[in-house]
């Protein structure tokens, strides 16, 4: 038991992870705090907004706490759950201070607006007016659950000017990823220990990177479902996914830019990859609304903030075109093939600060195929490839295969789109020194008449939850497949979908003894190429693949348990 651990202990060390708990009973709170301690939390915040036991029980709450603690009784008017009047709350706060926690959290508005509260609390806190030496530090806090308050800087000044406040805590709902930058600035300028949190889905960076910028602490929930503020993540997520223990001031920052990105699996693979090779980086989801102006303003702000050390990003729908436009606008370099495809998925900040936009999707697709066929990229020139679909993924794959000389047929539901793609890439020189292949278009219902060596699904047909769908219901009768079965050489069926791992198309193709390639292989390879572009190191592809498989299996299990 760590009873009596005071604030000096806390301030002497690095940014702490504080698990925030809404207290329902003493025993439940202590049990949860014990779990938090076991899982590596440094502090616990007891939210006593709904505490219904005698106030004297607060002493036991603190004394028997397995971790040093913060006591907070947040009123409804500041976004909390306490619904009583301020006079009753004053009594709770005095009892809380008397219980001797490491910290007591009080709202700036309450502190400045209630002289009686100050008169009663000041002797109990460790500020200049303390009558006896006290270990209770005052956290002066301010919250806005709607937006960034217009008077934020005045609030910061008021906190700085309050001598009794040992800690300044600012929390407001971020309007975009850009609001994280202001949190970092507040931390860099801190005169007293500070907590600066951008709340909501845009604010994750402020929580994870609190350690990089020397915040006093970052709040987490006991797990992802037991959180006490918008955007908070669970202890385990912070520790294992975002590698809290490895974060330092010089950690490089990466992310996946998209809209939406909450379900992206890229943070899981890249963070695990950094861990596996001992690279000092962290990778975050970066939601940016679709319009180019949002992309430009956000990416620009993140790149321009030198202490952030933002070094690169995976870029996904709907920003793949925006990335090319942006990199060109700021004088960076765009890989020629990305330019030809019109879409890039990787942003790399080079050592001299210049930007490079590239596309790892096409290379991932080609390499997955050539490896399965045991041929070189150049040897796809004598292959005939059926690409099913004419959207973004198909575009990169058509450009890549035709660029390396293969004959490509684009089969699509909407014939005009297929024809457009064919016209754009047929016999178009893309890869230096290689004669490009021809690209033709055909309606989707002619697929079973096709005679190809390689079939690639670039439609969402068969993707979760419509797992019984397939773009090739006639696979067993498809001419190319029938011929291959008669000994004309191996045939490859490649489904770019990775959820589920084994789609109906893949299962049907396996039953016909085709070589099969799943979307996981493409996903792993495109991620691996990004990883190498950023770190200069070979990617631990086995780690990537294991994580993807585990996550997809977990999702399936969770769903079948619902
Ligand atoms: P997209 O731009 O929206 O294009 C979707 C294509 O699928 C279009 O050609 C569309 O035809 C066709 N399509 C959609 N619904 C259809 C239906 N019900 N019947 C027939 N055709 C249909 O999407 P995308 O970005 O290219 O992504 C396509 C797939 O690629 C996704 O399912 C994704 O899983 C996969 N992908 C995988 C990876 C990886 O790393 N493994 C990477 C990127 C993408 P119309 O032209 O007629 O609308």
Residue pLDDT, tens place only, 242-282 = 999 999 999 999 999 999 999 999 999 999 999 999 999 99
Residue 398 has pLDDT above 70, yes or no: yes
Query: Residue 519: is its pLDDT beyond 50?
Result: yes
Strand order in 333-334's β-sheet? 281-287, 252-258, 310-315, 346-349, 355-358, 333-334
Q: What does the pLDDT average to over 47-70?
A: 95
Burial of residue 511, with CB atoms counted within 10 A of its CB: 0-12 exposed, 13-18 middle, 19 or more buried: exposed
Q: Give the integer Cα–Cα distance in Å for 88 and 49.
A: 12
- Report how far Cα 460 is from the mean position of its chain's Cα atoms: 23
pLDDT for 488 equals 67
For a mutational test of ligand 1's pocket, the pick from 258, 459, 516, i.e. the residue with the most ligand atoms closer than 8 A to its C-beta, is 459
Q: Are residues 385 and 453 in contact, defined by beta-carbon separation less than 8 angstroms?
A: yes
Q: Which of 259, 341, 368, 496 to mutate to test the pocket of ligand 1 (most atoms within 8 A of CB)?
A: 496
Q: Which residue has the tokens 């004959």?
A: 407
Of 74, 77, 79, nearest in space to 89 by CA: 74
CA of 460 to the centre of ligand 1 (A): 5
- Cα(434) to centroid(ligand 1), Å: 28
Atom of ligand 1 nearest to the CA of 459: 7
Q: Please give the average per-residue pLDDT across 458-481, as a whole number.
A: 93
**CB-based burial label for 555 (10 Å; 0-12, 13-18, 19+):** middle
pLDDT at 237: 97
Residue 3: φ, ψ to 5°: -50, 135
Q: Model confidence at 6, in pLDDT bands (50, 70, 90)?
A: very low
Alpha carbons 182 and 184: distance in angstroms, whole number: 5
Placement of tokens 């020194």 in the chain: 433
What residues does ligand 1 touch, defined as CB less than 6 Å away? 317, 361, 389-394, 412-414, 417, 458-461, 463, 496-498, 519, 522-523, 526
- Spacing of C-alpha 64 from chain mean position: 36
- Stated as kind and residue range, the H or E segment containing 47 is strand 43-47
Which residue's CA is minimally distant from atom 46 of ligand 1? Answer: 414
Cβ 257 vs Cβ 288: under 8 Å: yes
CA of 7 to the centre of ligand 1 (A): 56
The tens digit of pLDDT for each residue in 50-61 reads 998 899 999 999
Between the CA of 461 and the centroid of ligand 1 the distance, in Å, is 8
The yes-or-no verdict on residue 145 having pLDDT over 80 is: yes
Residue 281 sits at φ, ψ, to 5 deg, of -140, 165
As a whole number, mean pLDDT of residues 121-129 equals 88
Give 209-278 as a DSSP string. Answer: TTTTTT-SEEEEBSSTTS-SSTT--BHHIIIIIS-GGG--TT-EEEEEEESS-TT-SHHHHHHHHHHHHT
For residue 127, the model assigns a pLDDT of 78
- Least Cα distance to 69 among 95, 103, 99 occurs for 103
What does the pLDDT read at residue 480?
84
CA of 557 to the centre of ligand 1 (A): 25
Q: What residue owns the CA closest to ligand 1's atom 34?
A: 497
Which pair of structure tokens corresponds to residue 372?
């399965």
Tokens representing 242 are: 């975002």
Residue 73 CB contacts under 8 Å (≥ 6 apart), including other chains:
47, 48, 49, 51, 80, 82, 89, 92, 93, 96
Ligand 1 pocket test, pick from 258, 264, 412, 458 with the greatest ligand atom count within 8 Å of Cβ, gives 458
* Ligand 1 atom index nearest CA of 469: 18
Assign residue 214 a region (left: φ > 0; alpha: ψ between -120 and 50; beta: otherwise): left
Q: How far apart are CA 476 and CA 509, in angstroms?
A: 8
Mean pLDDT calculated for residue range 134-152:
95
pLDDT of residue 301: 98
pLDDT tens-digit readout, 335-377: 998 999 999 999 999 999 999 999 999 999 999 999 999 999 9
Residue whose Cα lies nearest atom 23 of ligand 1: it is 391
Active site residues: 143, 169, 320, 361
Atom of ligand 1 nearest to the CA of 417: 46
Kindly give the number of the ligand 1 atom that is closest to the alpha carbon of 523.
40
- The answer to whether 426 touches 340, Cβ cutoff 8 Å, is no
Give the range among 63-67, 326-330, 481-485 with minimum mean pLDDT. Answer: 481-485
pLDDT on residue 468: 96
- CA-proximal residue: ligand 1, atom 40 (nearest): 523
Q: Give the residue-averaged pLDDT of 292-302.
A: 98
> Which pLDDT score is estimated for 562?
62
Tell me which residue has its CA closest to atom 25 in ligand 1: 392
Q: Which atom of ligand 1 is nearest to the CA of 414?
A: 47
Q: How far is the CA of 394 from the centre of ligand 1 (A)?
A: 7
pLDDT of residue 323: 98
In whole angstroms, give the CA distance from residue 196 to residue 205: 11
Nearest-angstrom CA–CA distance, 106 and 391: 54
Q: Residue 13 — very low, low, confident or very high, per pLDDT cuts 50/70/90?
A: low
- Residue with the smallest CA separation from ligand 1 atom 36 is 496
Which SS3 state, helix, strand or coil, does residue 532 take?
Answer: helix
> Atom of ligand 1 at shortest distance to CA of 390?
9
Helix, strand, or coil (residue 339): helix
Residues 414-453: tens digit of each pLDDT: 999 999 999 999 999 999 999 999 999 999 999 999 999 9
The residue whose CA is least distant from atom 32 of ligand 1 is 460
Dist CA 480 CA 475 (whole Å) = 9
Contact criterion met (CB below 8 Å) for 482 and 489: no
Structure tokens at 287: 């939601």
- Reference 155, options 206, 125, 121, 113; nearest CA is 113
């Amino acid at each position: 038991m760590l009873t009596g651990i005071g604030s000096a202990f806390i301030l002497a060390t690095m940014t702490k992870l504080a698990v925030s708990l809404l207290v329902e009973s003493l025993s439940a709170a202590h049990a949860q705090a014990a779990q938090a301690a076991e899982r590596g939390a440094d502090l616990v915040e007891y939210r006593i907004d709904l505490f219904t036991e005698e106030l004297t029980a607060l002493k036991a709450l603190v004394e028997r706490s397995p971790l040093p603690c913060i006591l907070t009784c947040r009123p409804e008017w500041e976004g909390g759950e306490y619904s009583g009047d301020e006079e009753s709350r004053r009594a709770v706060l005095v009892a809380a201070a008397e219980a001797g926690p490491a910290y007591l959290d009080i709202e700036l508005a309450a502190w400045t607006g209630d002289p009686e509260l100050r008169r009663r609390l000041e002797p109990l806190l460790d500020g200049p007016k303390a009558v006896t030496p006290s270990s209770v530090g005052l956290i002066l806090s301010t919250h806005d659950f709607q937006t960034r308050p217009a008077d934020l800087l005045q609030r910061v000044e008021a906190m700085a000017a309050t001598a009794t406040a040992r800690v300044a805590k600012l929390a407001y709902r971020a309007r975009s990823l850009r609001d994280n930058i202001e949190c970092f600035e507040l931390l860099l300028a801190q005169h007293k220990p500070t907590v600066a949190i951008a709340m909501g889905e845009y604010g994750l960076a402020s929580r994870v990177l609190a350690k990089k910028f020397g915040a006093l602490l970052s709040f987490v929930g006991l797990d992802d479902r037991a959180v006490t503020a918008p955007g908070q993540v669970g202890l385990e997520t912070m520790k294992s996914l975002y590698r809290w223990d490895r974060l330092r001031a010089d950690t490089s920052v990466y992310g996946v830019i998209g809209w939406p990105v909450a379900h992206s699996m890229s943070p899981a693979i890249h963070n695990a990859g950094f861990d596996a090779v001992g690279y000092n980086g962290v990778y975050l989801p970066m939601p940016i609304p679709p319009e180019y102006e949002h992309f430009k303003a956000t990416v620009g702000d993140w790149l321009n903030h030198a202490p952030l050390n933002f070094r690169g990003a995976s870029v996904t729908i709907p920003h793949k075109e925006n990335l090319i436009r942006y990199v060109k606008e700021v004088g960076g370099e765009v890989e020629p093939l990305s330019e030809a495809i019109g879409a890039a998925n990787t942003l790399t900040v080079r050592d001299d600060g210049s930007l490079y936009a590239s596309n790892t999707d096409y290379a991932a697709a080609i390499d997955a195929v050539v490896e399965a066929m045991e041929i070189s990229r150049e040897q796809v020139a004598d292959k005939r490839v059926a690409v099913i679909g004419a959207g973004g993924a198909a575009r990169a794959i058509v450009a890549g295969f035709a660029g390396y000389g293969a004959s490509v047929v684009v089969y699509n539901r909407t014939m005009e789109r297929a024809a457009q793609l064919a016209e754009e890439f047929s016999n178009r020189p893309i890869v230096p020194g290689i004669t490009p292949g021809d690209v033709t278009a055909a309606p989707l219902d002619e697929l079973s008449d096709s005679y190809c060596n390689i079939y690639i699904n670039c439609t969402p047909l068969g993707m979760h939850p419509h797992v019984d769908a397939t773009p090739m219901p006639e696979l067993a009768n498809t001419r190319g497949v029938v011929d291959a079965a008669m000994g004309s050489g191996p045939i490859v069926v490649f489904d770019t979908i990775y959820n589920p791992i084994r789609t109906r198309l893949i299962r049907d193709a396996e039953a016909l003894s085709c070589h099969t390639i799943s979307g996981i292989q493409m996903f792993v390879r495109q991620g691996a190429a990004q990883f190498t572009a950023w770190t200069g190191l070979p990617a631990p592809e086995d780690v990537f693949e294991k994580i993807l498989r585990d996550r997809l299996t977990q999702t399936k299990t969770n769903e079948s348990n619902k």
